[in-house]
């Protein structure tokens, strides 16, 4: 019984992990159709913000919940103004530009901090479930994954800003004709997506540690989750994270983490072969 509960908790944690990784990208790629190949480095920037500020004496939770999203969000707005705004509708160009940005960020961070793992202590310690020790921080990650999805859903569903954002992404010319300043909508949307990515990077820093190359390990999981989910930001991210996270963690428990990562990739390939438009391209078509 205890083992079954621990396995279930680990599967839920794996789902929460994918949700946190993919939520910011789901906004930028799912809504704006911009392939932000520097997404992993945005996560890295959030992690380094937490490490640097915490080592400087700032409270760890202030670093995670305030500084990481603000720093990465502002950085995202600067990137959007200087680079991305010229690349809307040019998917291949946006991929190449953000790939170059990711290389630049990785090299710059390596020059400043070196290629060594840095980190902060994991809050709260652990709790015992029978003979097993489970980190309490896993429940924190699960809680924040739920909060992020609920917050995005509420903004898109119930606020004027969310309505304007969805209208702009669906038909920018019509929105412009109706007096909406689409440039500012794009900038704000990219900044919010970046801020959510920074929050995710900050939340994951105590678990993964922070190293300049960490983005290379995380960007693949993020894109797999978003593309498999399809165009819907909420339903797509949640459904693909649930399916892929459950399969990956189940295989991990049976065989090991290497085979778990391979199972995630194979599952995504099979799903995209069966559902080329993603899960929400066939199911939950009208959902957010």
Residues 37 and 99: beta-carbon distance below 8 Å: yes
Q: What's the CA gap between 95 and 184, in Å, rounded?
A: 22
Domain count, the chain: 1
Domain at 118, CATH number: 1.10.3470
**Integer Cα distance of 186 and 119 in angstroms:** 33
Tell me: pLDDT of 1 over 70: no
What sign does the CA torsion over 196, 197, 201, 204 have? Answer: positive
pLDDT in tens, 208-249: 889 999 888 888 889 899 888 887 888 889 999 999 989 888
Tell whether the torsion through CA atoms of 196, 198, 204 and 206 is positive or negative: negative
DSSP notation for 100-163: HHHHHHHHHHHHHH-SS-B--PPTT-EEEETTEEEETHHHHHHHHHHHHHHHHHHHHHH-HHHH
In contact, 72 and 192? CB cutoff 8 Å = no
Contact (CB, 8 A) for 272 and 236: no
pLDDT tens for 231-242 read: 788 888 999 999
Nearest 5°: the CA angle 214, 219, 286 is 150
- Residue 274: pLDDT band (50, 70, 90) is confident
> Phi-psi bin for 84: left (phi > 0), alpha (psi -120 to 50), beta?
alpha
Residue 285 has pLDDT above 70, yes or no: no
Q: 122-155 pLDDT, tens per residue?
A: 888 778 777 777 888 889 999 999 999 999 999 9
Using pLDDT thresholds of 50, 70 and 90, give the confidence band for residue 120.
Answer: confident
Judging by beta carbons within 10 Å of its beta carbon (0-12, 13-18, 19+), is residue 179 exposed, middle or buried?
exposed
pTM of the model: 0.92
Place of tokens 């498999």: 228
Domain range spanning residue 189?
1-284
């Amino acid at each position: 019984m205890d083992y079954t509960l621990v396995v279930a908790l680990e599967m839920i944690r794996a789902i929460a992990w994918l949700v946190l990784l993919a939520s910011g990208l789901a906004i930028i790629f799912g809504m704006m159709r911009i392939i932000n190949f520097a997404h992993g480095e945005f996560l890295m920037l959030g992690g380094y913000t937490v490490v640097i500020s915490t080592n400087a004496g700032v409270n760890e939770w202030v670093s995670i919940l305030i500084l990481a999203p603000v720093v990465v969000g502002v950085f995202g707005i600067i990137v959007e103004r200087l680079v991305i705004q010229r690349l809307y509708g040019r998917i291949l160009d946006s991929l190449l530009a953000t790939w170059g940005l990711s290389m630049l960020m990785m090299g710059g961070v390596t020059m400043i901090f070196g290629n060594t793992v840095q980190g902060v202590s994991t809050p709260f310690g652990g709790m015992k479930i029978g003979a097993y020790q489970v980190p309490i921080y896993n429940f924190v990650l699960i809680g924040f994954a739920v909060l992020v999805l609920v917050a995005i859903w509420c903004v898109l569903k119930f606020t004027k800003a969310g309505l304007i954002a969805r209208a702009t992404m669906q038909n920018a010319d019509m929105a412009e004709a109706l007096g909406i300043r689409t440039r500012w909508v794009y900038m704000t949307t990219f900044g919010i997506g970046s801020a959510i990515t920074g929050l995710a990077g900050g939340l994951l820093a105590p678990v993964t540690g922070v190293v300049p190359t960490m983005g290379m390990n995380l960007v693949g999981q993020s894109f797999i989750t978003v593309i498999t989910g399809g165009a819907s930001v909420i339903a797509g991210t949640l459904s693909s994270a649930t399916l892929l996270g459950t399969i990956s963690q189940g295989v991990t428990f049976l065989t090991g983490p290497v085979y778990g990562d391979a199972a995630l990739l194979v599952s995504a390939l099979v799903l995209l072969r069966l559902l080329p438009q993603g899960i929400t391209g066939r199911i939950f078509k009208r959902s957010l």
